[in-house]
Structure 1
Amino acid sequence: PDGRLLAIDRDPEAVIEGEALARDDERFEIERGNFGELRGLLEERDWMGKVDGILLDVGVSSPQLDDARRGFSFSDDGPLDMRMDPSAGQSARDFVNSATEEQIRTVLHRYGEERAAPRIARAICARRQERPIETTAELAGIVESVVRRKAGAKHPATKTFQAIRIFINDELEALRAGLSQAAAALAPGGRLCVISFHSLEDRIVKRFLRDNSRVDPALSRLPEIPPAARPRLRLPSKAVRAGADELVKNPRARSATLRVGERLA
């Protein structure tokens, strides 16, 4: 009953929903921000080093995917936006209509691991010479025009949408900053739980937990390990993935991976 829960979300619509919940329970509060702003929000409350648990739920949310106005999904046509905070930064429309072919190719390859990145980038630049690319359906159609759709496989535009979304929201840098700040915020025995949804995110999380749960091999032969080089975390379990029952209730959990680190004294 004495616990407190602080939620952080960069989406103003999610914050409005959270504020409605906060009015019903004074133990809960929500702030607008991203993972990289965690330290500042905790320092304001004098919570650094005192937190018992942190959950980072990475990536786009179901409400964002399901709202065609937000431009995250090609399932329903909508304006090509993809910003988690619609008031900040460039939109996906701005990016695909102004970036060079090389920039688009790099983003698709780096953040979507898209093998067809050169062909897709070339097709985007060719189409925008005719008219600006304005909607999610237009962008998905451009990708489909150069990437063959295989039966039973994901939509050919999946990786393109993922890559552009990650890039314009600077998601991976926010994740890296959030992981470091979260580990520092935990009390001894506190746990950091991270749910990621694709390999790029999961590799970052896996590497962070691995590096912070072992001694640097270069220092392992020293008679005494310096305090700053000692492990900060232990790994209480292997990665967890959704089981069959969960997938029936929540099919979007099929690609989710949960990893956990526990703060050492």
Structure 2
Amino acid sequence: MSDPETGRAPHVPVLLGPLLQAVAPVAGTWLDGTFGAGGYARGLLEAGADKVIGVDRDPLAIEMAQPWASDYGDRLQIVQANFANLDEVATGLDGVVLDLGVSSMQLDLAERGFSFMRDGPLDMRMSQDGPSAADFVNEMSEEDLADILYLYGEERASRRIAKAIARERAEGPIATTGQLATIVESCLPRARPGQSHPATRSFQGLRIAVNDEYGALAEGLMAAERALKPGGALAVVTFHSIEDRMVKRFFQMRTGGTGRANRYAPEAEEEVAAFTQKTRKGIGADEAELSVNPRSRSARLRVGFRTKSPAEEIDRAAMGMPGASKAGKTSKGRKGRRG
């Protein structure tokens, strides 16, 4: 998958080279928890994996893989599922790869309702079931909608935008991406050349809420810990600061660190290391990749290797998940919000 709101550029696996280098030698059975267009799965198979299990909650991803998946025979297995439950798909894995965000094929289809760049129904559901973005926008309270835009989209004008949405929906349902983008634009200054579209943060926050992406990430990291065998690799590619913070703190807690959210928090008991890391720094794209794939500019790769220590549950708030605790939501979602 790839960075949200990137336009019509074809899918290119971001940081695939650095990922393969970080986990080399590639062998055994791997699970690609965000299968998408299959770029990472194919890269792993061509690098030496005996088998790759591709997991995606979007039925379209499964359908689009059918013309080429048979080229790999029984080395490639594709399963429709949420990577939050990946340990229910397979265990004893040699590696797990997660490439977070929304796929370019989802953005390019107006009828999926992910992008403000092309008008379509306000949907945004990766699994194509459950409440849609239109349901959230038209039925959620103004206060809760503002919290979503702020906590998940990091939109500082969230109150102003939520108020405008409430005012507009009182006149009639907000049904399309174009309608919502116009409302958001009316609340913010016009973007200067080189700046992102004014609706970027709001669409990101709404999409993340509709698909419970942060909840899935928290559960998926813990599921990967349960599914990996000793020595197995967990590689995660993120595209924005909140996701990267969650992955970074997960590894901090599970490599024997305290995982404290801030220096004022009470000292936590030292955790038994469930992972080791060759480097704690996130890996970014080099100039060569940036020149051919601009989407990689915000991408960060973090990799850990499983030890023999038992898997454990982790507190979502300590992992840095927005809104995971009422206290965190109050202090950040209300007192700190402008607009």
TM-score (norm 1): 0.90
> Aligned equivalents of 1:115 and 1:190: distance in 2?
40
Question: Per-residue deviation at 1:131?
Answer: 1.9
The one-letter code sitting in structure 2 at the alignment partner of 1:259 is: R
Secondary structure at 1:240 match in 2 = coil
Which residue is 2:292 aligned to? 249
Q: How does 1:76-115 map to 2 (within 5 A)?
A: 76-86=118-128, 88-115=129-156
> Aligned equivalents of 2:179 and 2:306: distance in 1?
47
The structure 2 residue matched to 1:133, chosen from 174, 184, 202, is 174
Secondary structure at 1:252 match in 2 = helix
Aligned length: 250
**Unaligned ranges ≥5, structure 1:** 43-47, 221-228
Cα RMSD of the aligned pairs, angstroms, is 1.5
The one-letter code sitting in structure 2 at the alignment partner of 1:258 is: L
The one-letter code sitting in structure 1 at the alignment partner of 2:284 is: R
> Aligned equivalents of 1:107 and 1:257: distance in 2?
24
Matched, 1:67 2:113: no
Which residue is 2:222 aligned to? 180
> Aligned equivalents of 1:215 and 1:111: distance in 2?
26
**Unaligned ranges ≥5, structure 2:** 1-47, 259-266, 309-339
CA 1:16 to 1:252, structure 2 compared with 1: closer, same or farther past 3 Å?
A: same
Which residue is 1:121 aligned to? 162
Question: Per-residue deviation at 1:149?
Answer: 2.0
CA 1:175 to 1:148, structure 2 compared with 1: closer, same or farther past 3 Å?
A: same
Fraction of identical pairs, as percent: 48
The one-letter code sitting in structure 1 at the alignment partner of 2:163 is: R
The one-letter code sitting in structure 2 at the alignment partner of 1:245 is: A
Q: How does 1:1-265 map to 2 (within 5 A)?
A: 3-25=50-72, 26-42=74-90, 48=91, 50-86=92-128, 88-151=129-192, 152-216=194-258, 218-220=268-270, 229-237=271-279, 238-265=281-308
The one-letter code sitting in structure 1 at the alignment partner of 2:98 is: L
> Aligned equivalents of 1:2 and 1:213: distance in 2?
26
TM-score (norm 2): 0.71
Question: Per-residue deviation at 1:264?
Answer: 2.1
| Deviations 1:20-68 (CA, angstroms, capped at 9, x unpaired) | 33322211011011111101111xxxxx2x2111101111011111111
Query: Is 1:18–1:29's contact at 8 Å kept on the other side of the alignment?
Result: no
The one-letter code sitting in structure 2 at the alignment partner of 1:254 is: R
The one-letter code sitting in structure 2 at the alignment partner of 1:52 is: D
| Deviations 1:106-134 (CA, angstroms, capped at 9, x unpaired) | 11111111100000000001111122111
